Structure 1
Amino acid sequence: MNDVDAPTRAQTEAGIPAQGARQRRPDAIRPDDLRAEGEPWTWLLGGALALGIVMVLGLLLLVAWNGATTFWPRPIEVVTLTDGSRIAGEPVRSQAFRPGPQIIAELPPGIRARIAADGGIADRTLYRTGNYDLYGDDFRWVPDFQRSAAERPGDMVLIERLEWGVFVGRIVGFTHDGERTTTGDPRNPALEAAYRAARARWAEIRRIERGEIGTVNHHLEAERLRLRRVLLGDHPPAEREAAERRFAAEEPRLTAAYQRLAAAAQRLRAENARDTIILQEIGGREVTLPLSAVVRLVRANDMTLTEKIGVYLSRWWEFLSEEPREANTEGGILPAIFGTAAMTLLLVIAVAPFGVVTALYLREYARQGRITAFVRISVNNLAGVPSIVYGVFGLGFFAYIVGASIDRLFFPEKLPSPTFGTGGLLWASLTLALLTVPVVIVATEEALAAVPRSMREGSLACGASKWQTIRNIVLPRAMPGIMTGLILAMARGAGEVAPLMLVGVVKLAPELPIDGFFPFVHLERSFMHLGFHIYDVGFQSRNSEAGKPMVFVTTLLLLALIFLMNIGAILVRNRLKRRFQGSQF
C-alpha cells in the first residue's frame, strides 16, 4: 500500500480515515452482489416475455384446436334418463356444476350422499339435440345422476337442413314421384339417387332465380331508372318521348322473360315437392321434409374413417364457398371472406399515399419548428382516438355529406333511395384508412430518417433535384420501413369492427360488390366482415351454444386471412431489403 494512502496508527485508533481513502456506505452494493449486474431485472423481464409468449401461443392453440375440430362428425348418443324418457344428440362437452337445493331434494338418498361426499359437485354433459322446430332449443344439459343408460344405434342420422338447423333421429321412409317407400336404411341406393336428383333441381332453381331472373330484374330496373332520369332532367320533349317509347317496348319483353323463367322455376319446385323424406325423432314424432331441403345426411354412428374425412372436408368446402343460413350459425361465410379481403386491400390503397405524402412533407420539406412539432403531436394523438369516433365521423362526413352530394349530382333518378349516401364498402375503407394513417405516418418518418444523409448529399452534388433525390434515392431505401407501417395498418384495420357497424357492414349481404353488370365493381354496396360475423354469431344469435363453434372457426379463418396478407407484404418488404442491403455509403 502507498504510504500516502496508508492510515496512521493514531488515525486508525481514532476511527479517522486516511487521506484519499474511499468510505464505504452502509447500503452500498458489493461487487459480488447479483444486483450489481442487474441480473434480477434481467430474469424478471425475461420471465414477463416468456409469459406473454405462452399466453399468445395458448390463445392461438385454443382457437386453432376448437376451429379445426368444429366440422369433425361426432357420434349420436341415445341417453335413457332415470324417469324413463330418452334424448338423442351429439355430446359436445362435459363440465362440473353445483346442483340447486331443489334438485338435490328430489334425488334418491344414495345419489344425494354421493354428491355430498364430492362437496356438492356433480358432472353434466351438453348434448346437441337439434330439432329446433320440435323442441324449441338446440342443446340440452344432462346431469350424470339422471343418466340411466347410453347407446349409439347405427340407424341414427344427423340431417343438416336449409331451415331450423339440424335434425337428429331416424329415417322412416321417403317418397319419390309421389310413391312412398318404407325404409330405415340411410344407405338405400334409391334414397341416395332421389336425393341427388332433388339437390340438382334445387341448384337449377337457384341458378335461374339468382342468375337469369336476376339479370332480367337488373335490366328492367335499369330501363325504369333511365326513363326517370330523362323525365327529371331538362331534356327536350322529343328526347322524353323517345325514352318513353323505349321503355314501353322493353318492359313487356323483359316482363315476359321474367314470367317464363319464373314458370320454369315453379315447375322444378313442383317436382321437388314430390320427393320427400320422412324422419322420426327419438320421442316418436315424425317430420316430413323435402329432399331438396336436406343439405347433408350424416350417418353419425355408421361411418368409416374415410367417410368421416369426406364429411369433414365437405363441411369445410361449404363453409368457404357458400352463403350463411340460419342466422349465420350454419352454412358458409364466402361473402364475409370477400368483404374482409376487399376492404383491407382498399384500405391499403387509400392509406398508403396519404401516409407517405404526409410523412415526406414533414420530414423532407417542412421547416422544423413549433408548427411541425404540433402536427407530429396531433398525429400521435390521433392513434389514441377510440375507433367508434372514426365510425361516427365516417358516417357523418363520407356518407351523409360526400355520398349525399354524389347522389344528387350523379344518381338523382334513384333518390330518395341512397346510392352513395349510406354506408358501403368505399366509405368503410376510407374510414379505416383515417384510423390507421397515423401508424403509416410515424413508420414512414422513421424509415426516411434512417436513410443516411450522405446519400442525399451525394445525389444533390451530382446535380439531381430534391424531388429526384427523394424519388430515386430516399424512397426506395425507405420502402422496407414504409411496408412495415402498411403491414401494421393492414393488421389493425382488418380486425376493427366498431367503425364498420356504422359505415357499411351488415349481418347478411349475399350480393357481392363484384358482378357482371357495369361498372362491375360496386363500392357503394354494403358488405359482410369476418369480425362483425364473429360478434353477430357469438352475441346476437338465437342460441349462443349453437353459434360458439362458428365463432371459433370464423376466428381461425380471420387470423389465417390476416396472416396470409401480412406474409405477402413481409415477403415484398424482405425483397426490398435485400435489394438495397449493400447500397449505403
Structure 2
Amino acid sequence: MARSELLVRSPFRRWQKRGSAWVWLNALAVALCLLMMFGLLGTLVVRGTAHFWPAPVMVATYQNEQGQTETLSGVKTDEEAVSRDILAAAGVPLPVGQADQPLHRWLIKVGNRELQDGDFRWVLAEQLDHIRYPAQLWTIERRNWGTFYGTPVSLSQYGKSVRRFDNAHTEVFWQQFQERLMRARALYDRAQTLQQQELGSLNTALEANRLEQRRLKLKGDLSVALEDSLGRERDRLQQRYQQGQQQLESLYQQSQSDALLVTTADGRLVSLPLSEMLRVSRTNAMTLTEKWQDMGARMWDFVSGQPREGTSEGGVFPAIVGTVILVLLMTVIVTPLGVMTAVYLHEYAGRGWLTRMLRIAVHNLAGVPSIVYGVFGLGFFVYFLGGKLDQLFFPEALPSPTFGTPGLLWASLTLALLTLPVVIVATEEGLARIPRSLREGSLALGATRWETLWRVTLPMATPAMMTGIMLAVARAAGEVAPLMLVGVVKLAPSLPVDSHFPYVHLEQQFMHLGFQIYDMALQSPNVEAARPLVYATALLLVLVIGVLNLAAVALRHHLRERYRILEW
C-alpha cells in the first residue's frame, strides 16, 4: 500500500481533513479567554471586597530595629517570606534561628497617623510576641487622620468627663457613646447642609449679581438706578451670608463639644472629637452576623461617600456620577452623528473613489491613539470653541474662563469623536445585512425613499446600532488618557449635577472612575492604603460598564422582537 494512502486512511489525517482540529483549537482559545476573564473578575472580587471585611485588631510587643521593645496595635493586611540574606543586606537586625529558613514579614496597618510615622509598618513576625486580640479595643474611622485604634477611657463634654469606661458596664457605656455620637453627627450634617446648600446658593447669587453689574457696565446700560438696585441686592445677600456664617460656626462648635478619651496600645492618652468620627466598631467583639452587616455598611459607604485623604480613603460617589453622566452625554452626541454618517455612506453616497476614501478614513480613525484625541480636544474644543463662546456669551466673566477651560462638555465631545468610527462601522454593517428585496418592495408599494429608510431600513438596523453603541460605551467608560487633558480632575469641588439652574453644568470639571484608579495606583502618597481601593474601584467600574451594557442589550432585544415581523 502506498504511503499517501496510509496517510489518508490514518485517523489523525481523517480527523484533520474533517476540520475537527480547528474546532478544538477554537474551543481551546474560547476556554482560555473565559479562564482569563473569570480569573480577572475573581481577583477583583476577592481583593476588592476583602478590604471591607472587619479584620480583627491585634496588640503585640515587638523588638524593633534599635533593639527596643515596644507595644503596637493594628490589623495584618499582607504577609511575605524574605530570605535572611536580603534582610541582612538591608541592615535589618535578624533574630537567632536557622540560617537556611526564610523570615516572614507582616504588613500591619497601625493607624493612629498623628502618633506614628505612617499608617502601615512592616514587621518581622518572628519578633512579635504576646499577640492578643482584646475585646475592649475599638476601631475608629475618622474624617481626617485615618483610622485610630485605642481603648476607651471616658466620655467628655466641653472638656469635662461625663462617663468613665469600665469593664463591668461596657454595654451601658457603648449605648451612651452611640447616643452622643448620633447627636454630634446630626449637628455636623446640619452644618454641612447649611454650608453646601444655603451658603452655596448665596454665593451663586452674589456671583450672578457681580456678573450682571459688569455685563451692564460693558454694554453701557448701567444706569444709576440699576446700580443702586444691584447694590441693595448685594448688601441684602451679604447680610444673609454673614448670618449664615455665624450659624455655621455655632453648629460646628456644638458638634465638637463631645469627645472620647482613648488610650493607645503604648499607653498614650488621646482626645478624639465625636464629630470627626465616621464609624466606630468593636471589631474583636463582633459576631459573624455583625461582621457581615458591618461589611455591607462599609461597602455602601464606599459607593455613596465622598473621597477623603487625597482619594486614598472614603468613597467614590462623585466619580460614579461623573462617569455615568459623561457616558450618557457621549452616547447622546455620538449616536445621531454615527447613524447619519453610516446612512449617508451606505444609502446615498455613490461607489466612487471619494466614498472609498471616506471609509478608509473612518477605519483608520479607529486606530488613532486616544491621547491624540485628547490633544485635539484640548486645542480645538477647549481653546478654540470654548474661547469663542466665552467672548460671545460670557464677556463679563473674562479673563476667568467659563467654557474656555476643560470641562464635562468638551470631554463628552472628545469621547464622541473617539468612538464615532465604532458606531459608523457597526451601523453600516447592519444596513448591509438588510435584503435589497425589502427596499424594493417598499418602493413598489408607493413609499418614498425617505419613508423606506425611516420605516423599514432603520428599524431593522437598530440592533446593529445598539451593538455599536455598546462597544462605544465600553470603550468610553474605560478611557483615561484623553480625559486628563479635557476635563477630569483628582478632586472636584462639586458635582456637575445639582439643584441650581441649569442643573447639569457642562462647563464644570468632574471626577472619573478610570482616572481615580490611575491616581490611586500611581499618584497616591499613601500607596498601601490606596492599594485595596484600586481593586474595589476597578470592580465598580466593571460593574458600571456591565450595567450600561445590559441596559443596551435589553433595549436591543426589545427592538429586535418589535421589528422581527419586517424580516418575514
TM-score normalised per structure 2 = 0.93
Q: Say if 2:186 is the partner of 1:200.
A: yes
Contact map agreement 1:335 1:510 (CA 8 A) in 2: no
Which of 552-561 and 175-184 deviates more? 175-184
Q: Which structure 2 residues correspond to residues 97-136 of structure 1 after superposition, within 5 A?
A: 97-99=82-84, 100-102=87-89, 106-109=93-96, 111=97, 113=98, 115-116=99-100, 118=101, 121-136=102-117
| Aligned twin of 2:153 | 172
How far does residue 491 in structure 1 lie from its aligned partner after superposition? 0.8
| Aligned twin of 2:71 | 86
| Aligned twin of 1:8 | none
How far does residue 202 in structure 1 lie from its aligned partner after superposition? 0.6
Secondary structure, aligned partner of 2:195: helix
| Aligned twin of 2:435 | 452
| Aligned twin of 1:149 | 130
How far does residue 191 in structure 1 lie from its aligned partner after superposition? 2.3
| Aligned twin of 2:200 | 214
How far does residue 103 in structure 1 lie from its aligned partner after superposition? 6.7
Q: Say if 2:53 is the partner of 1:72.
A: yes
User: In the aligned structure 2, how far is the partner of 1:216 from the partner of 1:184?
Assistant: 49
2:461 partner letter: A
Contact map agreement 2:52 2:299 (CA 8 A) in 1: yes
Secondary structure, aligned partner of 2:284: coil
Contact map agreement 2:199 2:241 (CA 8 A) in 1: yes
List alignment gaps of at least 5 residues for structure 2: none
Match of residue 365, structure 1, among 348, 367, 378: 348
Evaluate the alpha carbon distance shift between residue 271 and residue 24 of structure 1 in structure 2; reply closer, same or farther with a 3 A threshold. Answer: closer
Contact map agreement 2:137 2:149 (CA 8 A) in 1: yes
1:155 partner letter: Q
Evaluate the alpha carbon distance shift between residue 137 and residue 205 of structure 1 in structure 2; reply closer, same or farther with a 3 A threshold. Answer: same
Secondary structure, aligned partner of 1:564: helix
User: In the aligned structure 2, how far is the partner of 1:31 from the partner of 1:365?
Assistant: 56
Contact map agreement 1:30 1:36 (CA 8 A) in 2: no
| CA deviation string 1:348-407 (max 9, x = no partner) | 100001100110011000011221111111111111100011011111111101111111
1:414 partner letter: A
User: In the aligned structure 2, how far is the partner of 1:227 from the partner of 1:468?
Assistant: 53
How far does residue 479 in structure 1 lie from its aligned partner after superposition? 0.4
| Aligned twin of 1:336 | 319
Evaluate the alpha carbon distance shift between residue 421 and residue 103 of structure 1 in structure 2; reply closer, same or farther with a 3 A threshold. Answer: closer
Evaluate the alpha carbon distance shift between residue 105 and residue 469 of structure 1 in structure 2; reply closer, same or farther with a 3 A threshold. Answer: closer
| CA deviation string 1:138-178 (max 9, x = no partner) | 11122222122311011111110111111112222221243
| CA deviation string 1:505-540 (max 9, x = no partner) | 111114111222222221111111111111111211
How far does residue 41 in structure 1 lie from its aligned partner after superposition? 3.8
User: In the aligned structure 1, how far is the partner of 2:189 from the partner of 2:243?
Assistant: 18
User: In the aligned structure 1, how far is the partner of 2:223 from the partner of 2:50?
Assistant: 63
TM-score normalised per structure 1 = 0.91
Which of 368-377 and 336-345 deviates more? 368-377
Evaluate the alpha carbon distance shift between residue 105 and residue 304 of structure 1 in structure 2; reply closer, same or farther with a 3 A threshold. Answer: closer
Contact map agreement 2:460 2:563 (CA 8 A) in 1: yes
| CA deviation string 1:386-433 (max 9, x = no partner) | 001101111111110111111111111111111110111111011000
Contact map agreement 1:328 1:537 (CA 8 A) in 2: yes
| Aligned twin of 1:542 | 525
User: In the aligned structure 1, how far is the partner of 2:57 from the partner of 2:6?
Assistant: 72
| Aligned twin of 1:182 | 164
Match of residue 43, structure 1, among 17, 21, 24: 24
User: In the aligned structure 2, how far is the partner of 1:149 from the partner of 1:45?
Assistant: 57
Match of residue 259, structure 2, among 243, 268, 276: 276
2:407 partner letter: G
User: In the aligned structure 2, how far is the partner of 1:145 from the partner of 1:69?
Assistant: 25
User: In the aligned structure 1, how far is the partner of 2:91 from the partner of 2:228?
Assistant: 81
2:18 partner letter: E
| Aligned twin of 1:14 | none
Q: Say if 2:449 is the partner of 1:462.
A: no
1:261 partner letter: G
Q: Which structure 2 residues correspond to residues 475-514 of structure 1 after superposition, within 5 A?
A: 475-514=458-497
| CA deviation string 1:241-260 (max 9, x = no partner) | 23311221012211111111
How far does residue 268 in structure 1 lie from its aligned partner after superposition? 1.8
How far does residue 25 in structure 1 lie from its aligned partner after superposition? 5.5
User: In the aligned structure 2, how far is the partner of 1:464 from the partner of 1:480?
Assistant: 23
Contact map agreement 1:209 1:265 (CA 8 A) in 2: yes
| CA deviation string 1:450-488 (max 9, x = no partner) | 111000001111121111111111000010111100011
What CA RMSD, in Å, does the superposition of the two structures yield over aligned residues? 2.0
Secondary structure, aligned partner of 1:419: coil
Match of residue 310, structure 1, among 254, 278, 293: 293
2:326 partner letter: M
Contact map agreement 2:474 2:549 (CA 8 A) in 1: yes
Match of residue 215, structure 2, among 199, 211, 229: 229
Q: Say if 2:387 is the partner of 1:404.
A: yes
| Aligned twin of 1:9 | none
Evaluate the alpha carbon distance shift between residue 360 and residue 190 of structure 1 in structure 2; reply closer, same or farther with a 3 A threshold. Answer: same
Which of 387-396 and 144-153 deviates more? 144-153
Secondary structure, aligned partner of 1:142: strand
Match of residue 143, structure 2, among 155, 162, 170: 162
User: In the aligned structure 2, how far is the partner of 1:129 from the partner of 1:437?
Assistant: 50
4+ residue runs over 6 A deviation: none
Contact map agreement 1:157 1:170 (CA 8 A) in 2: yes
1:224 partner letter: R
User: In the aligned structure 1, how far is the partner of 2:354 from the partner of 2:317?
Assistant: 48
| CA deviation string 1:319-355 (max 9, x = no partner) | 2222111111222211111110000000110000110
Secondary structure, aligned partner of 1:141: strand
Q: Say if 2:551 is the partner of 1:532.
A: no
How far does residue 78 in structure 1 lie from its aligned partner after superposition? 1.0
| Aligned twin of 2:248 | 265
Match of residue 415, structure 1, among 389, 398, 419: 398
Q: Say if 2:236 is the partner of 1:250.
A: no
How far does residue 92 in structure 1 lie from its aligned partner after superposition? 1.2
User: In the aligned structure 1, how far is the partner of 2:166 from the partner of 2:341?
Assistant: 71
| CA deviation string 1:233-277 (max 9, x = no partner) | 143xxx432331122101221111111111111112222332112
User: In the aligned structure 2, how far is the partner of 1:584 from the partner of 1:276?
Assistant: 72
2:506 partner letter: L
Structure with higher Rg: it is 1
Secondary structure, aligned partner of 1:244: helix
| Aligned twin of 1:16 | none
Evaluate the alpha carbon distance shift between residue 351 and residue 179 of structure 1 in structure 2; reply closer, same or farther with a 3 A threshold. Answer: same
Contact map agreement 2:263 2:269 (CA 8 A) in 1: yes
Contact map agreement 1:176 1:194 (CA 8 A) in 2: no
2:218 partner letter: L
Evaluate the alpha carbon distance shift between residue 493 and residue 27 of structure 1 in structure 2; reply closer, same or farther with a 3 A threshold. Answer: farther
Secondary structure, aligned partner of 1:283: coil
1:257 partner letter: R
Secondary structure, aligned partner of 2:567: coil
| Aligned twin of 1:572 | 555
The alignment of Structure 1 onto Structure 2 pairs a total of residues equal to: 555
Which of 135-144 and 416-425 deviates more? 135-144
1:303 partner letter: M
Secondary structure, aligned partner of 2:491: coil
Evaluate the alpha carbon distance shift between residue 362 and residue 153 of structure 1 in structure 2; reply closer, same or farther with a 3 A threshold. Answer: same
Evaluate the alpha carbon distance shift between residue 30 and residue 242 of structure 1 in structure 2; reply closer, same or farther with a 3 A threshold. Answer: farther
Contact map agreement 1:424 1:525 (CA 8 A) in 2: yes
Contact map agreement 1:318 1:332 (CA 8 A) in 2: yes
2:440 partner letter: E
Secondary structure, aligned partner of 2:114: helix
Secondary structure, aligned partner of 2:424: helix
Contact map agreement 2:184 2:256 (CA 8 A) in 1: no
User: In the aligned structure 2, how far is the partner of 1:40 from the partner of 1:497?
Assistant: 41
User: In the aligned structure 2, how far is the partner of 1:252 from the partner of 1:148?
Assistant: 67
User: In the aligned structure 2, how far is the partner of 1:580 from the partner of 1:306?
Assistant: 50
Which of 326-335 and 418-427 deviates more? 326-335
How far does residue 304 in structure 1 lie from its aligned partner after superposition? 2.3
